[in-house]
Structure 1
Amino acid sequence: MSWIAVAIGAAFGAWLRWALTVFLGHFHSHIQLGTLVANLAGGYLIGLALGFFDALPTLAPAWRLFVITGFLGGLTTFSSFSGEAMVLMQRGHYGWALGHVTLHLLGSIGFCVAGYATWRAIA
């Protein structure tokens, strides 16, 4: 049953990432906002999820697999982020590439911490 939880969660996460890319893809010429929003939102949501699952250790493991491995794994994307950074560098947009990398990495970690802190504040 674990693989079903992961597969269903991943399908929903990937669909949402695709929708963000389609909806936000035309707003900026150098930064793919859909990928950025997916990664930052995913960072925040995984922080919330980690707090939630820490608070409920008896919850069936399939739920954690569905949410974290499946949904959030499908939503967030290190491969698209990496490819976008490489394209920026290939085009000579080194400043944009540095900003892109900084926003994704530090932003995702910061949002994860914020999500966990949010859970602790409301729990």
Structure 2
Amino acid sequence: MSTMTIEVLAGVLLGSAAGGVARFQVGAWVTRFAGTSFPWGTGVVNVSGALAAGVLIALWPAEDPSSPGLQALLMAGFLGGYTTVSSFALQTLNLVRQGHRLKAIGNLLASGLLCLGAVWLGYQSTTLWLGHP
């Protein structure tokens, strides 16, 4: 996505709006069921976003410049608006400030490991399903 066309910019704009709404809804739903003592909603959003990124990266190899508007809509737009690195960082800092250092470390490790695992799983399962390495 190296060229900035109206199609690419519109994809980022629309995808970001949809991703932000999805993040809010998923985070609220998870928090309603899991409670507020730990940032479960942010974790679920980040891990599911990483899984989706792995799937999309497997569908669009780096050397394939086709569908720049769709790639912008889904990758930069939707997943950029959906995942919540800034929320993750703020919530981790707040756990430390509230004296919950073990929870902060747990959030840091769980989010990092689960998101890396999810992007790997998404990529591997999609390439296996498509039948290419």
Counterpart-to-counterpart distance in 2, 1:101 and 1:76: 15
Q: What is the letter of the counterpart of residue 85 of structure 1?
A: T
Contact 1:24 1:32 in 2 (8 A): no
Structure 2 gap segments, 5+ residues each: 1-5
Structure 1 gap segments, 5+ residues each: none
Match of 1:23 among 25, 29, 48: 29
TM-score in terms of structure 1 length: 0.93
Higher CA-based Rg: 2
Counterpart-to-counterpart distance in 2, 1:32 and 1:93: 12
Counterpart-to-counterpart distance in 1, 2:76 and 2:12: 6
RMSD: 1.5
User: Aligned pair count?
Assistant: 123
For structure 1, which segment, 28-37 or 102-111, has the greater mean C-alpha deviation from structure 2 after superposition? Answer: 28-37
Contact 1:30 1:96 in 2 (8 A): no
Match of 2:13 among 7, 12, 17: 7
Match of 1:119 among 107, 112, 126: 126
Counterpart-to-counterpart distance in 2, 1:29 and 1:60: 40
Runs (4+) of structure 1 exceeding 4 A deviation are none
Q: How does 1:69-88 map to 2 (within 5 A)?
A: 69-88=76-95
1:19-57 alpha-carbon deviations (Å, 9 max, x no partner)? 012112232333222111110000000000000011992
Match of 1:62 among 69, 79, 89: 69
TM-score in terms of structure 2 length: 0.87
Matching of residue 43 in structure 1 with residue 50 in structure 2: yes
1:59-93 alpha-carbon deviations (Å, 9 max, x no partner)? 22111111110001111011000000011001110
Contact 1:12 1:74 in 2 (8 A): yes
Counterpart-to-counterpart distance in 1, 2:115 and 2:52: 10
